Every structure is written in structure tokens, then in C-alpha cells.
Amino acid sequence: MLQILVEALAKTYRVAERAPGLAGAVRGLVRRRWREVHALVDVSFSLEAGELLAFIGPNGAGKSTTVKILSGILRPTSGRVEVGGLVPYEDRVRHVARIGVVFGQRSQLWWDLPVLDGFDLLADIYRVDPAHYRRRRDELVAMLRLEPLLGQPVRQLSLGQRMRAEFAAALLHDPAILFLDEPTIGLDAPSKLAVRAFVRRLNREQGVTVLITTHDMHDVEALAERVIVIGQGRLLADGPFESLRASVLAERRLYIDFAGPAPELEIRGVTVRTRTERSLELAFDPAVIATPKLIAAIATQHAVEDIHVDEPAIEEVITRFYDLHDAREA
């Protein structure tokens, strides 16, 4: 079942612009210059119910704008959007009752209220049936290990604790779709793992459709089967993460520690990336020279202490991809 449909979506902001300094400020008083910023240009994609889709892209790429349009906060400049058969910004009230949203940089819980009071208030706001609410709340509290936090005001929670509470808050009304805008930003490693495990469970066990935006490539690797890459408001790629990785970079890395000084190497298809006195980092394409062959070639000629092969870091894959499309933030 098709749950999200986006066609030729565009969003253009008009921002006032002025030259820097006092002169610019004075000129701005008299005559204001406007500049158009194209946050989204012709973005189209669709999402089936129960899918888990990750949106990645550099800062300012238009990820959050997309989420805000899909969740009904912003209206697009043009294009067609349907979520669960509704146009979010036309039918806002009915639409938002069926979705849950977590913005990693904002809080939807009330700063001065204990967590539990915030949940109660949300249940009232979403008109959740009291018996159903208690069941759902207890389930989420158990899944997210919130029990010890329920009596604490939100302002006293650590970021990791707060994000767990935020997830529960977004799900009390049983939304069919969950939008996550950078939910792991600023979290420590265990909290990130907890968030990923929870999102995966939610998607697999409860069938919640998830659209997540993130900068953290480990989020993507751990969660998403499908990835959309967006840059400068344009959709650059849409497909399985593995194929994205394969298409951008087949390159491998070889790290070697030598018993003596690092030698000069002249092997076809291999470049030296970094060199220290007794170690080398090589980049090579396995299609040109197979990994065992390369290792054998080096180990037979030089006294090697340690050797290991690695793939380029995920961040690097993505940065290359952005550069390939000239999509890095200006």
C-alpha cells in the first residue's frame, strides 16, 4: 500500500538580503533586496507502508524542509504531496493525528513538567482513549526503559534520556508513520544504539512506516534498506544503501606496518595515501589488483609486521558522493 507520494515537490524561500556593515543596514532600510532560496527543486519519491527510508544529505540540503512539508508544518511552493491519502497542509488536523514526529534538535515535552505529566497531556491532546493510553504508555515505557524517569521534570533529563522520552511522546497516539529528523544528533554511543534498536523494532514488529533524516551514516547502515540522497534541494539518488556504496566507491584500503623503514612501492592500480616512517596506507581497486595478490606481492618482498584491509569510512563515501554531484553546502 502506497503511504507517501511526493511528486515534483518544490519549496522556495524568499530571504531578505543586505550588504554587511552599517552602510548595508541603512540601505536595507530604504530598499530591501530579496533573494530566492530554492530549498527543494523537483523532488519525487514514494514510500510503501511498513518501509524504512533514510534521507541523507549535507547540511542545508533540504532534508528537514521535506520532513516539515510531509508532516504538515510547511506548505510547498509547488508539487503534489499525499500522505496516507491526505494532503498534509490542506487537511492538517486529520493528517497530524495519524503521524508521529521527533525533531532531534527540539523538544515536544514540556520543560517544567514531569515526563509522566507530559505523556498525560499528550494523551489528552490526541484524545487517546484512557484504557488504550495506559496500555500503550506502559508498553513504550518498558521498551524505552523510562520507568525511573517518569517522575522527573524534562529539564533534568540528560539528552539521551530525553530522546527516549521524546520517542515515547511521539508514539502514544499509535501513529502509522513516524518522521524522525536527526534523532541521534548529539547522542552518545549507547544512546544511539538504543535509538536504532528501538526504531528497528518499531518498524519490524509494529509495522510503523519510518522516514528518518540523519547525518550519521551508522544510522543508515544499521537501519535503512533504502536511502535517498538529497543535495542542494535535488534528489541525487534513491535506492538500496549497498548499491549506493558500490556505485560510488569500490576502493579498498590496505594498512601495513613494516619491520624496517617503509619501502617505496610501484604497483599498478595502487596509490600511497599516507606514509610514516614504518607504515603505509594504500588505496587500491580490487578490480585491477585482487587483494590476496597485492598482499602477497608486498609480504614476499618486505618484512611486514602487521597488515589489514579495510573499506573507506562511510562518511568518506558520502562526501565523495556529494562532491561528485557538486552538492556540498556552499
Partner 1 sequence: MQSVRPYLAAFRTRFQLMLQYRAAALAGFATQCWWGAIRIMVFAAFYGVHAAAAPISLADAITYIWLGQALLALLPWLADPEIGQAVRTGGVGYDRLRPLDAYGFWYARTLGWMLARAVPRAVLMLLAAGIVLPLVGLGAWAWRPPSGMAAALLFLPAFVLMTALAAAVLMLANIVVAASLNERGVNAVLTPLVIVFSGSLLPLDFFPDALRPFLHVQPFAGLVDIPFRIYFADLGGGAALQGLALQAGWTVVLVGLGRLAMERMMRRLEMQGG
Does residue 138 bind partner 1 (CB under 8 A)?
no
DSSP state of 114: B
Find the binding residues for partner 1 in span 197-226 (CB under 8 A): none
Give the span between the Cα atoms of 8 and 110, in whole angstroms: 37
Interior CA angle at 183 toward 182 and 187, to 5°? 110
User: Does 110 participate in binding partner 1 (rule CB under 8 A)?
Assistant: yes
Site for partner 1 in 227-246 (CB under 8 A): none
How far is residue 88's CA from residue 81's CA, in Å, rounded to a whole number? 7
The Cα-based distances of 192 to 59, 205, 227 in angstroms read 20, 20, 19
Contact flags string 65-94 toward partner 1, x per CB under 8 A: x--x--xxxxx----------------xxx
State in angstroms the smallest separation of the CB of 127 from partner 1: 5
> What is the Cα–Cα distance from 76 to 201, expressed in whole angstroms?
32
Judged by CB under 8 A, the residue of 81, 101, 157, 210 near partner 1 is 101
> Quick check: 103 binds partner 1 (CB under 8 A)?
yes
Residue closer to partner 1, measured from CB, 160 or 175: 175
Residue 94: CB minimum distance to partner 1, A: 7
300 binds partner 1 (CB under 8 A): no
Residue from the set 117, 174, 221, 238 that interacts with partner 1 by CB under 8 A: 117
Taken in order 118, 97, 12, 25, the sign of the CA dihedral is: negative
Phi, psi of 43 (to 5 degrees): -100, 125
54 in Cβ contact with 227 (< 8 Å): yes
Query: Which residues 6+ apart lie within 8 Å of 215 measured at CB?
Result: 56, 59, 182, 185
Q: Does 59 bind partner 1 (CB under 8 A)?
A: yes
Helix (H) or strand (E) holding 12: strand 2-17
Identified binder of partner 1 from the candidate list 10, 113, 289, 304, rule CB under 8 A: 113
Q: Which of 124, 225, 311, 315 binds partner 1 (CB under 8 A)?
A: 124
Q: Pick from 5, 126, 193, 206 the residue near partner 1 by CB under 8 A.
A: 126
- Report 162-191 residues binding partner 1 (CB under 8 A): 182
Cβ proximity to partner 1: between 62 and 160 the closer is 62
- 220 burial level (CB within 10 Å; 0-12, 13-18, 19+): buried
User: Strands 78-83 and 2-17: what pairing?
Assistant: antiparallel
**Count of beta carbons in the 10 Å neighbourhood of residue 24:** 12
Rg (CA), the chain: 25
Q: Give whichever of 110 and 255 is closer to partner 1, judged by the CB atom.
A: 110
- Closer by beta carbon to partner 1, 1 or else 15: 15
- Of residues 10-49, which lie at the interface with partner 1 (CB under 8 A)? 13
**At 53, is the secondary structure helix, strand, or coil?**
strand
Contact predicate 200/223, CB 8 Å? yes
Give min distance, CB of 198 to partner 1, in A.
20
Minimal distance in Å, beta carbon 150 to partner 1? 16
| Binding piece for partner 1, criterion CB under 8 A, among 106-114, 191-199, 250-258, 281-289 | 106-114
For partner 1, the closer CB: 75 or 200: 75
CA distance 116 to 141: 10
Instruction: Kindly list the residues in this chain that would bind partner 1 in the complex (CB under 8 A).
Output: 13, 59-61, 63-65, 68, 71-75, 92-94, 96-97, 99, 101, 103, 105-108, 110, 112-113, 117, 120-121, 124-127, 182
